[in-house]
Amino acid sequence: MDSLEKRIAKEGRVLPGNVLKVDSFLNHQIDPFLCMDMGKELARIFSDVHIDRVLTVEASGIAIGLAAAYALQVPLVFAKKRKSLLMTDEVYTAPVYSYTKKETNTISVLTQFLPAGENVLIVDDFLANGEASLGLASLVEQAGSRVAGIGIAVDKAFQNGHERILKAGYRLESLAVITSLEGGRVTFQEGHEC
């Protein structure tokens, strides 16, 4: 997606550890126009499959998740990272090692918000080692539903996640595919069409 790649090229900052900081439009301040356009684009890409709901994980997945769910006209559910006293009912859970925080969280969703027999689109802001996406896929499968696909805003395809998701047999669609952050420079996949 050209507008996203241009924005990354202009405002993205590469931090040590292959972390791309996009705080000015996605992860801290959010550009609502770009975000809604990303949601529309994901809805267009997945328009060939039926989708019942969108699933993401708090906190940074919520903006793009909401944009995608709005465009698809379906509910958005976000997995919680910390157990809340409010979550007294039954939950599906999965362990997820956080790439940026270097800690394992148990993500959870109330079973009532992940019914069986649905097609669920997983959406997240970044793909690194695939922990978050695969954890979300596990929640969908525990619920007895099907992963319709995984939609990512920024896919750091040189890390493990891209390969792991494809190997696991999921459909992966990414709006911006980065092949290298070496030397503090962002390199996008050549000829990537969105």
Write down the least CB distance from residue 9 to ligand 5GP, Å. 15
Report in angstroms how near the CB of residue 101 gets to ligand 5GP at its nearest: 8
- State which of positions 69-128 bind ligand 5GP (CB under 6 A): 99-100, 124-128
Distance CA(70)–CA(132), nearest Å, equals 22
Number of residues located near ligand 5GP, criterion CB under 6 A: 21
Give yes or no for residue 65 binding ligand 5GP (CB under 6 A).
Answer: no
Q: State which residue, 47 or 187, has the beta carbon closest to ligand 5GP.
A: 187
Between 20 and 117, name the residue whose CB sits nearer to ligand 5GP.
20
From 131, 148, 150, 172, residue interacting with ligand 5GP (rule: CB under 6 A)? 131
Q: Which residues pair with 174 in a beta bridge?
A: 152
By the rule CB under 6 A, 132 interacts with ligand 5GP: yes
Among 129, 138, 142, 180, binds ligand 5GP (CB under 6 A): 129
Smallest distance, ligand 5GP to C-beta of residue 148, A = 19
What is the binding site for ligand 5GP (CB under 6 A)? 19-22, 27, 60-61, 99-100, 124-133, 156, 161
